Structure 1
Amino acid sequence: MPTNALTPSEVIYTSPYKSVHLPRRSIFTHMLGASAVPGIIGGFPAHYPAFIDAVSGASLSRVQLRTLCLQLAHSLLNPPAALAPLHGRPVPTPPTVLIFSPNSLAWPVMLLGAVAAGYRATLANSAYTSTELAHQYTDSQAHLILAYPPLVPVVRKMLKSLGIDGAEINRRIVVADTTWLTGAPELEPGKPAALKGLTRLSELIGRGELVQEVAFPGALADSTVYLCYSSGTTGKPKGVETTHFNITSLLEILRPAFPPLKIGPERGAKGEVVKAYQDALFGVLPFYHIYGAIKLLQYPLSRGVPSVILAKFDPERFCWAVQKYRPTIALIVPPILVVFAKHPAVEKYDMSSLETMFSGAAPLGADLVSAVRKRFLEHGNTVVITQGYGLTETSPTTLLLPKEYALEHVGTTGFLLPNLEARLVSEENGEKTTDIPGAGELWIRGPTVMKGYLNNASATENSITPDGWFKTGDVAVRDKDGYYTIVDRRKELIKYKGFQVPPAELESVLLQHPQIADAAVIGVESKEEATELPRAYVVKAAPDDSLTPAAVQEFVAGRVAQHKKLRGGVVFVDVIPKSAAGKILRRELRERAKTEVVEGRVVRAKL
């Protein structure tokens, strides 16, 4: 409820949930800390499963995970000769490791092993090109890269581009192999020549073990632990400094609103164990994205239930895994629901175990929810589809629609989580933030708001007010019952299937083309794919028919990750609309896009 009768932008809203206790300690201690009670790890029995690899069926119990993490932490602090000394190269304090890998059973070992050592971890998109990776590697000052075997050539190319020689390259890469965990051959083993001379993750296990993790008690919990990279409206992606306290706070404030979890083994009529768990979470959210890193990797671990790991989304494999492992909660993004609305795999496999599908990373429309739920109901599954809202800068979740209200409030992003405050700011510094009645830019304050942007004080100052309000850039409305709905975005960021695509970055790439004089990029809605698609408006440097939309798309595609491709098409224009100050008037381009239709790779005006 509002705390004062102030102007609409000054009203401070709080959560309908009571505030919860927020401990100050390491993330590792919070989830996998040892107990005075024998056989208890992080508050739950040590033998409970923590992670299950969907393809191989291999699993890690809580005690196995803790042991492996402490062994990796020991090797990070006492590296083998192949990794140290680093020829006098200064290593920042605390050191930072970069994880460059799709989801695997090795991920929680790598991430939490780094945390146990007191290190920072920066999480890189496994689709990055060497150029994109170079920015994150240098900006984060990472000293070691844990790379999935097929991605090692990208890492080698990146390090060479920075002027690093072959011998030193071998000291900076650890191959994130997985066979030692799964017992199965690598799905993508990588080229042997690229892996020659490199240390493997498996070689860092069993060399010793820390007695306990680096603890970060009290004020030390405000130390940065994760550096996920968030794309802003200008410049290159920025490193978000997320602290131990940010994450442990998020894990605790999620609990009142997230679907309740049944913890422990499933038992038969005579009390015998028929399955090692009752509830399990499942999804293909990439662990390098904070949504996957928290909701799929760390939240279930903090609650004593297992997470089933699958590297990437394939409808057949996804539905097969649901049938095999019987998870009760699936974490998804809207494009997955688009597939579920039509794909025959939904009818081919038994998906009746799913009780909740939780969507995030992009807005979820009511029509899509209704279509998917109707299809599941036709096959006897009463699954509830709900969603939440958050950002990398807020660790991430701030709003969540509880399962019990999902049907009657479909399309909203739910309530504000406990211990958080919100404002809806419709005017800032004399500038209107939105023309939508009753709406305002959502500002969030609370223990999950990031420390700031790494090496970027000006960006931090522009995003966080002196009294702690983070400006999300998203425009929301709030109804009388406290439900929030995101209705627009003040920032210019494009969201393609949950991934961030900064227009400024694509514009910079376009302007490298010798035949392009000016360019602007916007996101255009695709109802078929339930996402935004990047579209470029391009001014030719000179009249030249050799520069075609397809040629521009191919030029960009060779320089960016898959999710940044110009899937929305390319439009040639005489001039890019700009303000007197030179700012691109994207709103004018978005209005223009409403009158255009894409035919293959060609964008034409609607008739």
Structure 2
Amino acid sequence: MSFHSPFPDVEIPALSVYDFLFGSMAEADLERPALVDGTSGDVVDYRTLVGQIQGVAGALAARGVGVGDVVGLLSPNIPAFAPVFHGILRAGATATTINALYTAQDIVKQLEDSKAKALVVVSPLLPQAKEAAAEVGIPDELLIVLDGAEGHPSLRDLLVEQAPAPEVTFDPATHLAVLPYSSGTTGRPKGVMLTHRNLVANVCQIFPRMGLGADDKILAVLPFFHIYGMTVLLNAALYARASLVTMPKFDLVEFLENVAKYKCTYVYIAPPVAVALAKHPLVDKYDLSSVHTIFSGAAPLDRVLGGAVAERLGCKVRQGYGMSEMSPVSHAIPFDDDDTPLDSVGPTIANMECKIVDPATGAEVEYPTGEGVSEPGELWCTGPNIMAGYLGNPQATADTLDSDGYLHTGDIATVDANGVVTIVDRLKELIKYKGYQVPPAELEALLLTHPQIADAAVIGVLDDEGEEVPKAFVVRQPDSGLSEDDVMAFVAERVSPHKKVRKVQFIDVVPKSSAGKILRKDLRSAESAAPAS
């Protein structure tokens, strides 16, 4: 049977993202710091942020960008990300946020698929952005370089124009706000169509559970271009009128220095950061006493590891679960709940309903009673935060989103009688490396282009620190002298850093079903039986 959130439904206003976040800004809030550059210390207050959003929206409209258009945004976490991202939405356009680690060809694929009309970038990423823009036909005047580059407009150029923000009209329930790219449950990245209502809903749903307040200072190291950073950090923090301290990339020393220097109170992380916080000796050299809560997402957090972080830092540690296709959060351990086990993902958030379904039979798993826990099954979720579908891919949409509106997550879960959900396994083939999605099919297709590789398969395995990494099982061509290092170097030269193959095992044949599907469970058995390297 299906089960609802244990929390009462929350009201979801029928507003655009801009009007929801900034439409009722109190005068006192306008002077509050909204964004702090962790590197330079520069501060952008809410008054300046709102003005910049309006300025960006006006400048884009003056360049012919508006309702129905898509704008690519390729940037790490810097304060300028916020006014540009929200300026795109304020102009009525749709933002497709691009992974800052992407190669030129990765960028081309996303720009082509989303049919982006313009691209915004920072100068360190301009070489690959310029190559991609040229390939898809984006002109120099619509390749905007935030910090300036000859021949391209800068953010300063946009703002000094003082073009008025346009009057735009659209239905928040159907108009696309963002197009992040996700591999879903398997396969190549697909554009996830998220409406203004989806994003507004998810902030409303999670806000009562997060414990965020206007006096919080939030360390923003998780990328805003990823839906986790976009909703849980950027949008929820701005809604709370809190301050975001931005970091362009993770560096442990800078991370610790920023927490100590800016007295950060709330820190969102992925599990690899938890490993450092629990084990690295550097942590003891910094005053981290300002931190009251650490929230982990993007990949499973081990209970022992989370407990070690909580004890060492003297703070709360919480965990949540979601997917890009759910805007992203569907489950979270509330900030004021000290009883829910940390290796669970907590109860379902407000306004959502879930099922656990036996993947073999399609039958709904019975909800437990008393102190019981359900049998495991695939987690299905429905609610106002569920995507509209995959862009231009009705088959993939139908495979993931059923006619009753339930998203089939591809993750195996259990639920207890209190509604607490635990993710126990992965039905889907997607690898999660440091929170980034790595589709095995993409790496397999690349490996098969190597003249000395006869066949290949890729799965996720755990490294020595408990991080899931891509491992390639490779069948060499006869008389090939191909080495493990050769294979890893071949892939590394052709993919984004997070997609690198980190382990290689040579085998005689890739196990496949009669239909030709790779039997990944057999590879996992081979992995567990392989001698330690």
Amino acid at match of 1:258: M
Q: Which of 489, 498, 509 is residue 554 of structure 1 equivalent to?
A: 489
Give SS of 2:294's match: strand
Give SS of 2:130's match: helix
Q: Which residue of 1 aligns with 2:410?
A: 473
Q: Which residue of 1 aligns with 2:19?
A: 29
* Cα shift at 1:234: 4.7
* Aligned 8 A contact 1:384 1:407 in 2: no
Is residue 2:27 matched to residue 1:57? no
What CA RMSD, in Å, does the superposition of the two structures yield over aligned residues?
Answer: 2.1
Q: Which residue of 2 aligns with 1:592?
A: 526
Q: Which of 65, 86, 89 is residue 115 of structure 1 equivalent to?
A: 89
Q: Which residue of 2 aligns with 1:534?
A: 470
Give SS of 1:29's match: helix
Amino acid at match of 2:351: N
Q: Which residue of 1 aligns with 2:350?
A: 418
Name the TM-score, length of structure 2 as normaliser: 0.94
CA distance, structure 2, for counterparts of residue 598 and residue 457 of structure 1: 44
CA distance, structure 1, for counterparts of residue 200 and residue 396 of structure 2: 25
* Cα shift at 1:92: 9.1
* Cα shift at 1:595: 1.9
* Aligned 8 A contact 2:91 2:165 in 1: no
CA distance, structure 1, for counterparts of residue 184 and residue 346 of structure 2: 25
Amino acid at match of 1:246: N
Is residue 2:84 matched to residue 1:129? no
CA 1:430–1:486 in structure 2 vs 1: closer, same or farther (change >3 Å)? closer
Amino acid at match of 1:465: D
Q: Which of 156, 166, 189 is residue 202 of structure 1 equivalent to?
A: 156
Q: Which of 107, 115, 121 is residue 147 of structure 1 equivalent to?
A: 121
* Cα shift at 1:360: 0.2
Query: Can you list the C-alpha shifts for 1:497-555, whole angstroms capped at 9, x where unaligned?
Result: 111000001011111111112110000012x433201000111232211x111111111
* Cα shift at 1:588: 0.7
* Aligned 8 A contact 1:130 1:155 in 2: yes
Q: Which residue of 1 aligns with 2:341?
A: 409
Give SS of 1:255's match: helix
* Aligned 8 A contact 2:61 2:166 in 1: no
Q: Which runs of 5+ in 1 are unaligned?
A: 1-10, 85-90, 179-194, 264-277, 377-381, 600-607
CA distance, structure 1, for counterparts of residue 374 and residue 421 of structure 2: 14
Amino acid at match of 1:119: A
* Cα shift at 1:16: 0.9
Q: Which residue of 1 aligns with 2:302?
A: 365
CA distance, structure 2, for counterparts of residue 177 and residue 19 of structure 1: 43
CA 1:523–1:580 in structure 2 vs 1: closer, same or farther (change >3 Å)? same
CA distance, structure 2, for counterparts of residue 221 and residue 209 of structure 1: 28
Give SS of 1:521's match: strand
Q: Which residue of 2 aligns with 1:95?
A: 69
* Cα shift at 1:30: 0.4
Is residue 2:31 matched to residue 1:15? no
Is residue 2:168 matched to residue 1:214? yes
Give SS of 2:207's match: coil
Q: Which runs of 5+ in 2 are unaligned?
A: 366-372
Give SS of 1:311's match: coil
Name the TM-score, length of structure 1 as normaliser: 0.83
How many residue pairs get aligned? The number is 526
Q: Which residue of 1 aligns with 2:145?
A: 175
CA distance, structure 2, for counterparts of residue 116 and residue 340 of structure 1: 38
Is residue 2:198 matched to residue 1:246? yes
Q: Which residue of 2 aligns with 1:184?
A: none
* Cα shift at 1:427: 3.5
* Aligned 8 A contact 2:376 2:414 in 1: yes
Is residue 2:427 matched to residue 1:490? yes
- Shifted more, 336-345 versus 410-419: the winner is 336-345
Q: Which residue of 2 aligns with 1:282?
A: 219
Give SS of 1:582's match: coil
CA distance, structure 1, for counterparts of residue 477 and residue 66 of structure 2: 45
Q: Which of 333, 344, 347 is residue 270 of structure 2 equivalent to?
A: 333
Q: Which residue of 1 aligns with 2:56?
A: 72
- Shifted more, 335-344 versus 117-126: the winner is 335-344
Query: Can you list the C-alpha shifts for 1:152-177, whole angstroms capped at 9, x where unaligned?
Result: 11122224445x5xxx6423411121
Query: Can you list the C-alpha shifts for 1:549-597, whole angstroms capped at 9, x where unaligned?
Result: 1111111001111111111x11111111001111000011011111225
* Aligned 8 A contact 2:186 2:428 in 1: no
Give SS of 1:560's match: coil
Is residue 2:284 matched to residue 1:347? yes
Percent identical pairs in the alignment equals 40
Q: Which residue of 2 aligns with 1:6?
A: none
* Cα shift at 1:61: 1.5
CA 1:437–1:596 in structure 2 vs 1: closer, same or farther (change >3 Å)? farther
* Cα shift at 1:148: 1.1
Q: Which residue of 1 aligns with 2:369?
A: none
* Cα shift at 1:94: 1.1
CA distance, structure 2, for counterparts of residue 234 and residue 262 of structure 1: 37
